[in-house]
Amino acid sequence: MNRAQYARLVGTYGVLIALAALILFGWWRYDNFLSAFNVTTVVRYNAMFALIALGMCFVIMTGGIDLSVGSTAALGSVAAAMASHYGMAAGIGGGVGAGLLVGFVNGLLVTRANIMPFIATLSTLLAASGAALLLSKQTSVPISPTSGFMLVGHGMLWIIPVPAAIAIIAYLLGAILLNYTSTGRTVLAIGGGEDASRLMGLPVARVTFLVYLASGGLAGMAGVLLAALGFAGQPTEGVGWELFAIAAVVVGGTLLTGGSGSVLTTLAGVLLLGILFNVLNFENGKGWISLSAAWQSVVRGLFLLAVVLLQARLTRQHTRSA
């Protein structure tokens, strides 16, 4: 195996290897790490991050960025909580609808107004955050206790938590879209070269708009789960979620420059970061170390930096060998 083949192998499967190693380490070191309660808790909570990471994955594959997903999730949670008093469907529709509205604005700003994605989504980040605070009157909004809306967060489908089932369905649809449709091929083509894609006659503006719309909708659904899991719409949540999503996408092997990526390894990236947080909590319980939430963020940040540096090195090796 030459260096180029090795770089491609590690870039594609490295996150899966790291995820398997982390799970084996946790199983070996901690009691109850693979207990039904812990596994269910981890996948239930991280389903929110999985949804926003999926949308971010498609955005980054086009060469863009969406900084608004955290604030959009917070706005979605408030809208879902307010609408939950009219039934479960209304609560879900309210949260997803709020997210789609933000995604719609992002898509127009990027494709019609030709504003750089960083600036466009930074603007909607601030707007969505302000809207969440205004709608909620700067306080948490309780969900309806009688509409069954809480089942979206705490229900089970056989042995699978409902949030995890939603995330699994979303990722399966995302993988099919990316790998087996012309839209998915266009997403990768745009990231590889937007001008070249236009010259080939590809619907660059339409697909880019749809990508931002989908990212907003998925963030809104994450807000629905946030409200259902916490029993309230939470306007101040979502801070830093966009960074978690970007981290999961990068750890999953998607290039920040666009044109290359994988939906399923993005999910592995979400699980890797989520389980890393879980391991740190278990380690605190062992008493050998005592990491506060701030120090845990430092550890995860350093871990992400190491992954990005490794990815950059592998990319350079692949480019030189090509």
In the chain, where the domains are located: 3-321
Backbone angles phi, psi at 253, to 5 degrees: 100, 0
Closest of 170, 216, 211 to residue 187, by C-alpha? 211
| Range 49-65 average pLDDT | 96
Give pLDDT tens digits for 23-37.
999 999 998 899 999
Greatest Cα pair distance in the chain:
62
The gap between the terminal CA atoms of the chain, to the nearest Å, is 14
Q: What is the pLDDT of residue 5?
A: 53
Q: Report whether pLDDT(315) > 70.
A: no
Q: Report whether pLDDT(306) > 70.
A: yes
Q: Is the dihedral of CA 285, 288, 293, 296 positive or negative?
A: negative
CATH class assigned to 3-321: mainly alpha
Distance, in Å, from the CA atom of 106 to the CA atom of 103, rounded to the nearest integer, reads 5
Percent of the chain with pLDDT over 70: 88
Cα-to-chain-centroid distance, residue 87: 27
Give pLDDT tens digits for 102-130.
999 999 999 999 999 999 999 999 999 99
**159: Cβ contacts below 8 Å, ≥ 6 apart:** none
DSSP 115: -
Torsional class of 63: left (φ above 0), alpha (ψ -120 to 50), beta (otherwise): left
Q: What is the pLDDT of residue 307?
A: 67
Give pLDDT tens digits for 186-216.
999 999 899 899 989 999 999 999 999 999 9
Two tokens, residue 294 = 């701030």
Two tokens, residue 13 = 């499967």
- What's the pTM value of the predicted model, to 2 decimals? 0.91
Q: Report whether pLDDT(298) > 90.
A: no
Distance, in Å, from the CA atom of 306 to the CA atom of 312, rounded to the nearest integer, reads 10
